[in-house]
Chains A and B, each alone.
Chain A
Amino acid sequence: MSIVADSGGPFLGRLSLHSLPFWDMLQHPTMSNIINGIIATGAASLVVIGALVVIALLTKYKLWRPLWSDWVTSTDHKKIGIMYIVIALVMLTRALIEAVLMRAQQAVGLHGGFLSPDHFAQLFSTHGTIMIFFMAMPFLTGVINYVMPMQIGARDVSFPVLNSISLGLTAAGAALVMVSLVIGKFSTGGWFGYPPYTEATFSPGVGPDYWIWALSLAGLASTLTGINFAVTIYKERAPGMKLMRMPLFTWTALCTAILMIFAMPPLTVATSQLALDRYLGFHYFTNALGGNMMNFANLFWLFGHPEVYILILPAFGVYSEVIATFSGKALFGYRSLVMATMAIAILSFTVWLHHFFTMGQNANINAVFGIASMLIGIPTGVKIYDWMLTMFRGRVRFTTPMVYSIGFILLFVLGGMSGILLANPTIDYQVHNTVFLVAHFHNVAVPGVLFGMLTAYHFWFPKAFGFRLNERWGIISALCWIFGFMGAFFPLYALGIMGLPRRTVAYAQARYVPLEWVAFLGALLLLAALLALLWQLWISIRDRDANRVFVGDPWDGRSLEWSNSAPPPEYNFAVIPSVQGRDAFTMAKENHSAYERPDTYKDIELPKNSAMGLVIAALGFALAFGLVWHIWWLVIAALLAVIASMIVRGFARDTTRLVSAQEVRREHHRWIDAVAAATAVSRANECKTVNVGLAQHQANGVVP
């Protein structure tokens, strides 16, 4: 018994009963241990019960087979995109609950509170890690996956199986973070895990190892995704889709892909070096024997700053599409917006040092990086003005995506302003590492990234599933997000200026209390926003038959992804469109060349399903889990199996299948018949059930 409790021996590595969340509570039942044990055990049970419920439901409704053949082995970029977004929503739920817990703790944190410091530290570490790597990244990767190939008139991404493998690796990383709730503990070193705190000397447990391997899986996945997206955009565009005709969202996808390719390696290097320190006693970042943690800070932020632009650029792309569409007007300053996007992508590699102005380098260096950081404000400002000018002389419809977009612009301006403040080394010396900084990055991450992705979700949902989401609950949820954000984070600006450091579990200043409570109420409103979003999904599914938009163009869209049915056929386009200019679908509608019946159809070649994604996911997870717990036989076995599976895959020759011309023709005609039978709606009715996805034609200067 005691052997089991202390260590698992060669077979289980470091695994033991101590790894269970309730063990401490049972061994040392103090009040604090009990409260924290109950919370941790509750969270662990949620994970386990959640998994069991999913398994039970799948079995009950006999969904294992469709799950296998239609989803997990699918190489369809649309299915993969949707699965990414499902991961993102699950992880968003967890990370948001953690955020509310932290806010609750701080609200009662004068001289104490209910969470132990260690528990609180795990919360901010998992929250940050999840939000960045397993919420925002999968969300944007999913949206790009779904939308970008259709926007450029392609049938799929360049490397569909690789796409599925990237998804698998992301899922494995997310699973690792989830498992850390049940077995062992996560890192307490925050989302950037600075050594030497995360070195074995100071954090001997499994926490930093969970963090390292979860990031490694996610980082590898993103690198592969970046390559896949970039190649797709370079090589798979439909005839006539010149670079300067690409929709802005695709441009941002390209920039993000390039950033992924160049920004992920420094992270992988830094975490690998840390792993070498921890596992093999190297001294890259230790205090002693020539180690230097400043190298870690450099490498991490060499990744970290471009990373925030990886997150925000696709959101900018979404807003560009949404604002043009719902203003009934061409995007203003397309060329400027493209240039601004590229400028941001390049500049984002030149500013990383602003994350450690306070590390002691001289004033010249700080000033140069401070000014470089401000330079990013220029293209960002241009974007904001161009979006506003897109609304100017338009016909603005205040649908859910547009409510998010307007909320975004106004709030993002404030976030940008606090960013400019932080770019002043002089001011950064005062607010660095305080909750002012927390307020700043949430002020860009929440209205920017999160709202951007939710906007994308509302905008393209009807395309993906064939019915519109409930508009009323959409607006309610959007307003809750917006006002909840303001409540939760504006007080943090003030608290930061009052000297409250980030990552503080408790404090001794009674003056912090009122603002902490405001922030807590704001966080509750954010939780309500998430619940409203889930409720909206539920009732939208319930009412789906009334809200079908099979014709496929519910918002009078401008780019090619609106030119097919909703949901689109697996091969996206019966005939690859030929592109005449920017806003390809709007042009087609104007020339009456949309919805045509071509004379001839061809067989379409599609990638076959592949289990590679799932195999790599399982092996990647096993490998990482083995590394975390020092279960060496598992590590070796998983590693060999990965290599073997790749070799086996290398011999696969029969990797594509054909969709016959007749079938394409049948499906296409079914859709064109539906188009012919549909009544076009005016924009005034776009959120009503009469909208079946056919937009009234907009003649010059006259609004439909």
Chain B
Amino acid sequence: MVRLAAVCGVILLLVACAGDTHLTFLDPQGPIAHQQRWHFYWVLAVMAVLVAGPIFVLLPYWAWRYRYGNKSSTYKPNWDFSRLLEIMAWGGPIIIVAILGFFVWHDSHKLDPYKPIVSKQAPLRVEVIGYDWKWLFIYPDQGIASIGTLAMPVGRPVSLHITSATVMQSLFIPALGSQIYAMGGMVSQLNLEASKPGKSLGENTMYNGNGFHQQKFTALAMSPADFKAWVIKVGATGIVLDAQTLKLIARRSTRSDLIAALPKATSMRGNVYFTGVGKTLFPAVVKATMDGTKTLPNTVFASASAATTPAKRNSGAVTEPSQ
């Protein structure tokens, strides 16, 4: 118990003096992580009081009281059954599990990552492709894409559709909410929302080779106005995502290797931005991975001209039907 408290203390301490990147759901930046924290503390508290408490008190006490050297305590070498104690031994855990089971059922549904977040605003759609060892975030409704930063407006749900162009990966932004696997030829979903501006750690948690530990990104929550500006900036400065560029992205390399390999390295503080990203790119990558074909049809790459008029495509609220 003391130890447990100490561990929790250490956690809190470290979280309290956290740097500028939010690392953990104990320092939540959105409603999902917030509820997860609550659930975590609740389960921990129930168990600390009902499970660990009695055992950590009784076991040392009994071991000491009934130690060999203590001749004054009761000794009943053949006493091996008591109906009452047996009922308690089974009943206690059953009650605890029943309480916790209720929470599991309730919260699994409430916090199902596939469940759209209820909001007045339509969700921002983002399509995520996991490459070795970088994530490509496509904003299909804005015609832009980014490697290194997942930008999102505060207060508006984000609906992520996720796939992998290589091996299994797992997309995770602890301070915002759940993680979900990215698998080749399949699309998984994750719904998140940021409630305050700030940077959160984003990562892949499923080992996928040498650059695994460098497959990080920043989840950047900003005010709606800033987000608008960001979209325009990306549209204006991004490079065109053509077949050649996508080939470079698909190579097994880290983000910094990619930046070094790009002919016109338009990297903004370690990020790479793209314009002219068509809506059909994501489904095409899913299908190509499923079919095992290396090249995508040319039609999925929007013409370069689209890239020059990003402002038209930017969005505060999406007008297209989403999903």
A-side residues, CB < 8 A to B, are 116-118, 121, 188-190, 194-197, 202, 286-289, 292-294, 327-336, 356, 358-360, 362-364, 366-367, 370-371, 374-375, 377-382, 384-386, 388-398, 406, 409-410, 413-414, 416-417, 420-421, 423-427, 429-430, 432-434, 486, 490-491, 493-494, 497-499, 501-511, 515, 683-684, 698, 700-703
CB distance from B251 to the nearest CB of A (A): 13
B265 cross-chain contacts in A, Cβ below 8 A: none
CB distance from A608 to the nearest CB of B (A): 43
Task: Give the residue of B66, B78, B210 whose beta carbon is less than 8 angstroms from that of A395.
Answer: B66
Q: Please give me the 4 A-B residue pairs with the lowest Cβ-Cβ distance, nearest first.
A: A288-B292, A287-B184, A429-B178, A381-B93
CA distance A426 to B34 in the complex (A): 11
Contact A426 B4 (CB under 8 A): no
Contact A700 B181 (CB under 8 A): no
Contact A426 B108 (CB under 8 A): yes
A394 cross-chain contacts in B, Cβ below 8 A: 66, 75, 77
B82 cross-chain contacts in A, Cβ below 8 A: 389
CA distance A379 to B52 in the complex (A): 16
Contact B76 A329 (CB under 8 A): yes
Contact A414 B104 (CB under 8 A): no
Q: Pick from B58, B75, B208 the residue with the most CB of A within 10 Å.
A: B75
A363 cross-chain contacts in B, Cβ below 8 A: 108-109, 112, 114-115
B62 cross-chain contacts in A, Cβ below 8 A: 388, 391-392, 396
Q: Determine whether B179 belongs to the interface, using a CB cutoff of 8 Å to chain A.
A: yes
Given contacts A389-B89, A391-B62, A503-B212, contact A287 B289 (CB under 8 A): yes
Contact B80 A360 (CB under 8 A): no
CA distance A365 to B271 in the complex (A): 38
Q: Determine whether B297 belongs to the interface, using a CB cutoff of 8 Å to chain A.
A: no
Q: Determine whether B197 belongs to the interface, using a CB cutoff of 8 Å to chain A.
A: no
Task: Give the residue of B24, B67, B207, B216 whose beta carbon is less than 8 angstroms from that of A121.
Answer: B207
CB distance from B26 to the nearest CB of A (A): 6
Contact B185 A287 (CB under 8 A): yes
B19 cross-chain contacts in A, Cβ below 8 A: 509-511
CA distance A396 to B131 in the complex (A): 59
Closest to B71 in A: A703
CB distance from A224 to the nearest CB of B (A): 32
Task: Give the residue of B11, B43, B92, B115 whose beta carbon is less than 8 angstroms from that of A427.
Answer: B43
B104 cross-chain contacts in A, Cβ below 8 A: 367, 370-371, 374, 423-426
A398 cross-chain contacts in B, Cβ below 8 A: 63, 67-68
Contact A391 B108 (CB under 8 A): no
Contact B77 A371 (CB under 8 A): no
Contact B179 A359 (CB under 8 A): no
Contact A327 B66 (CB under 8 A): yes
CB distance from B46 to the nearest CB of A (A): 9
A429 cross-chain contacts in B, Cβ below 8 A: 36, 111, 113, 177-180
Q: Supply 10 A–B pairs (Cβ within 8 Å), ascending by A.
A: A190-B207, A194-B206, A196-B184, A202-B209, A333-B81, A367-B104, A385-B85, A413-B56, A420-B43, A426-B36
B80 cross-chain contacts in A, Cβ below 8 A: 329-334, 390
B289 cross-chain contacts in A, Cβ below 8 A: 287-288
Q: Pick from A425, A490, A702 the residue with the most CB of B within 10 Å.
A: A425
CA distance A375 to B167 in the complex (A): 34
Contact A499 B44 (CB under 8 A): no
Q: Determine whether B203 belongs to the interface, using a CB cutoff of 8 Å to chain A.
A: yes
B66 cross-chain contacts in A, Cβ below 8 A: 327, 391-396
CA distance A429 to B90 in the complex (A): 30
Given contacts A371-B101, A413-B52, contact A330 B77 (CB under 8 A): yes
Given contacts A288-B289, A371-B104, contact A336 B90 (CB under 8 A): yes
Contact B213 A505 (CB under 8 A): yes
Given contacts A396-B63, A420-B43, A426-B36, contact A410 B205 (CB under 8 A): no
CA distance A517 to B40 in the complex (A): 26
Contact A433 B103 (CB under 8 A): no
Given contacts A328-B77, A382-B89, A409-B59, contact A424 B209 (CB under 8 A): no
Contact A381 B103 (CB under 8 A): no
Contact B107 A506 (CB under 8 A): no
Q: Which of B108-154 touch A at CB < 8 Å?
A: 108-109, 111-115
A698 cross-chain contacts in B, Cβ below 8 A: 77
Given contacts A406-B63, A507-B213, contact A501 B205 (CB under 8 A): yes
A511 cross-chain contacts in B, Cβ below 8 A: 14, 18-19, 23
Contact A501 B75 (CB under 8 A): no
Given contacts A413-B55, A499-B174, A508-B216, contact A333 B290 (CB under 8 A): no
Task: Give the residue of A202, A378, A414, A434 whose beta carbon is less than 8 angstroms from that of B97.
Answer: A378
B88 cross-chain contacts in A, Cβ below 8 A: 385
B211 cross-chain contacts in A, Cβ below 8 A: 117
Contact B212 A381 (CB under 8 A): no
Contact A433 B205 (CB under 8 A): yes
Closest to B178 in A: A429
Q: Determine whether B303 belongs to the interface, using a CB cutoff of 8 Å to chain A.
A: no
Closest to A370 in B: B104
Q: Determine whether B309 belongs to the interface, using a CB cutoff of 8 Å to chain A.
A: no
Contact A493 B7 (CB under 8 A): yes
B181 cross-chain contacts in A, Cβ below 8 A: 356, 358-360
Contact B67 A396 (CB under 8 A): yes
Contact B90 A701 (CB under 8 A): no
Given contacts A393-B79, A424-B107, contact A385 B89 (CB under 8 A): yes
Task: Give the residue of A194, A294, A334, A374 whose beta carbon is less than 8 angstroms from that of B101.
Answer: A374
Q: Determine whether B86 belongs to the interface, using a CB cutoff of 8 Å to chain A.
A: yes
A356 cross-chain contacts in B, Cβ below 8 A: 181
Contact A498 B14 (CB under 8 A): yes
Task: Give the residue of A331, A375, A389, A502 whose beta carbon is less than 8 angstroms from that of B205.
Answer: A502
CA distance A364 to B185 in the complex (A): 24
B14 cross-chain contacts in A, Cβ below 8 A: 494, 498, 511, 515
Closest to B171 in A: A358
